[in-house]
Structure 1
Amino acid sequence: MIIDEKDVDLKSILGSIQKGDMHSYVVVLDRFQRPIYLYCYYLLRNQEEAEDATQETFIKALEHIKQFNYTASFSAWLYKIARNHCTDLLKKKNREKKILDLYHMNKHQEQDHKYTDFIYECLDKLSSEERQILLLRILEEYSYDEIAFIMDSKSVNIRKKYERIRKKLIQVKKGVNLYEQSY
């Protein structure tokens, strides 16, 4: 089994941080800040909120770093913190209506970005949970086991939901109106 040098470095850096070396946390920020920000941005659809959520994620991770125990990868642990934080934000603000309003406002500003519009249109057809599964699987390339860990679910459930999401998006691509179909 080949061990990635970055993983060995990360493990030793995390060990240093857990022992109180807060200066080493900069390495964690450098390595994971951008992907966590993008994840938060796709969930929240607001740059400022995504920046705040990213900052909160890393603050919470630092506060609870001694509880990290390698039952999952460190990045999966970070994504779980980010997911929980973003979910809390969405619940508090009843973001669904605001997300649609923002989408329509951006759609008018981005007339030249048909592909981007199509992606947002597809994402709007999905529930918050479905978007999270899709983003973690496609963009972040997590395994079903890692997604299950992040989302407090079972791997088999995530796999089934992912297949349903794929079928749903295929129907969107074909132009089937999902809201008029009865199941």
Structure 2
Amino acid sequence: MDKEQIERVIEEIKSSGSLEMFGDIIEALQQPIFTYCYHMLGHRQEAEDAVQEVFIKAYEHIDKYTKSDSFSAWVYKIAYHHCLNLINRRKLYRMVPFLKRGMAAVSQNEGEIRVDHEQVSYPLHQAMSRLSAEDRNLIILRVIEEKGYEELSVLLNKKPATLRKQYERALRKCKHYLQLQKGGEVNEAYKAIR
């Protein structure tokens, strides 16, 4: 489904509220949004849950969507803010240990820290996880999602030149974190972001 078709379907959904038609939109955008959430959060299950929440929010607030942005850019913005909230919640749980005592402990062996090696190598994932959510977001959108600076400008509400500089700084940080690691897999990860 191309952008024009999506826009037509969105207009019909706005007038009819058709959940069935929104299913077509989900089908068209689900995989890219999942990939984005997965790289932001680093956990498959969290990303799957996040994608569901993002599309629920998009449907619930579809009347707020305007054609000034593309619909996919609007959904990416929802995904970014949702992932950012999840990341901030994680930080809160780390900062307030007594909150975690009452919660059931989840084993890391249960897939909590699974990394899809087809998408990004483990050393690169480790290096990216040390970046701020904003820097990680920019790298994911630029490298993995292959968004241009003009499109990123619309998504992130910043000038393309500003984003280019921010991206270069984020890449330098990521490369620095990769250099701190050792091993052959690190060399492959380093080449991936060059």
User: TM-score of the superposition, structure 1-length normalised?
Assistant: 0.76
1:66 to 63, 66, 77: 63
Please tell me the residue identity of whatever aligns with 1:19.
S
Ranges in structure 1 where 5+ consecutive residues have no aligned partner: 177-183
**CA 1:129 to 1:174, structure 2 compared with 1: closer, same or farther past 3 Å?**
same
Equivalence for 1:130: 135
Could you say what the CA RMSD is over the residues aligned between the two structures, in angstroms?
3.4
Residue deviations 1:47-89, cap 9 Å, x none? 2221121111101111111221221221111100000111111
- Name the % identity: 31
Q: Is 1:157 the counterpart of 2:189 in the alignment?
A: no
> Closer, same or farther in 2 for the Cα pair 1:36/1:172, shift >3 Å?
same
CA distance in 2, matches of 1:170, 1:94: 24
CA distance in 2, matches of 1:39, 1:95: 23
Q: Distance in 2 between matches of 1:171 and 1:45?
A: 20
Structure 1 residues 1-183: aligned runs within 5 Å: 6-20=2-16, 21-94=18-91, 116-172=121-177, 174=179
CA contact (8 A) 2:34 2:48 kept: yes
Matched residue count: 169
Structure 1: 4+ residue segments shifted above 6 A: none
TM-score (norm 2): 0.72
Amino acid at match of 2:135: E
Structure with higher RCO (Cα < 8 A, 6+ apart): 2
Describe the superposition over 1:69-117 as per-residue Cα deviations: whole angstroms up to 9, x where unpaired. Answer: 22122111110000011111111221796xxxx99x98x988x99x712
Offset of residue 17 of structure 1: 0.8
- Report the alpha carbon displacement of residue 145 of structure 1 after superposing the two structures with TM: 3.2
Deviations 1:133-155 (A, max 9, x none): 00001111112233233334333
CA distance in 1, matches of 2:126, 2:92: 16
Contact 2:9–2:21, Cα closer than 8 Å, also in 1: yes
Distance change in 2, residues 1:96/1:125 (3 Å): farther
